[in-house]
Amino acid sequence: MIIEILKSKIHRAKVTQAELNYVGSITIDENLLDAANIIANEKVQIVNNNNGARFETYVIKGERGSGIICLNGATARLAQVGDIVIIMSYAHMDFEEAKAYNPLLVFPDDHNRLLH
């Protein structure tokens, strides 16, 4: 049996931009992507802690070290600059493999930089 489980999570990132007139997606600082093992064009689920919105989109790689978390296109209507979001990626795994898998959890600081 194959199940879908949490692969990785960027926990409590701050939205830095919202660009309505763009072809949908979320732009994420490449440092955060690397830390969470998320790649460009990967599907992610986003939860907005400020308003409860939950939505899915795909990832665009943002400038490394910029701290960017930008909601593009229609998703820009679901958050405001300064909102706190959780960004999650999932993977399909064999049930037994999934039991032993530990997701990568990334906890950025208030400027979306990696805590060391």
- Mean pLDDT for all residues in the chain: 96
Q: Is 84 within a domain?
A: yes
Q: Is 24 within a domain?
A: yes
Single out the catalytic residue among 8, 22, 58, 90. Answer: 58
pTM of the model: 0.95
Rg (CA), the chain: 14
Query: What domain range is 75 assigned to?
Result: 2-101
Q: For residue 111, what is the DSSP state?
A: T
In the chain, % of residues over pLDDT 70? 99
Single out the catalytic residue among 8, 22, 25, 90. Answer: 25
The pLDDT assigned to 115 comes to 79
Q: Which amino acid is at 94?
A: D
Q: Is 111 within a domain?
A: no
Instruction: Pull the structure tokens for residue 81.
Output: 């600059």
CATH number at residue 64: 2.40.40.20
Q: Is 108 within a domain?
A: no
For residue range 1-26, list pLDDT tens digits in order: 999 999 999 999 999 999 999 987 99
User: What distance in Å separates the CA atoms of residue 8 and residue 1, rounded to the nearest whole number?
Assistant: 21
Q: How many structural domains compose the chain?
A: 1
For residue range 33-55, list pLDDT tens digits in order: 999 999 999 999 999 999 999 99
Active site residue 58: yes
Q: Is the CB of residue 31 less than 8 Å from the CB of residue 108?
A: no
Q: Is 60 within a domain?
A: yes
Q: Is 112 within a domain?
A: no
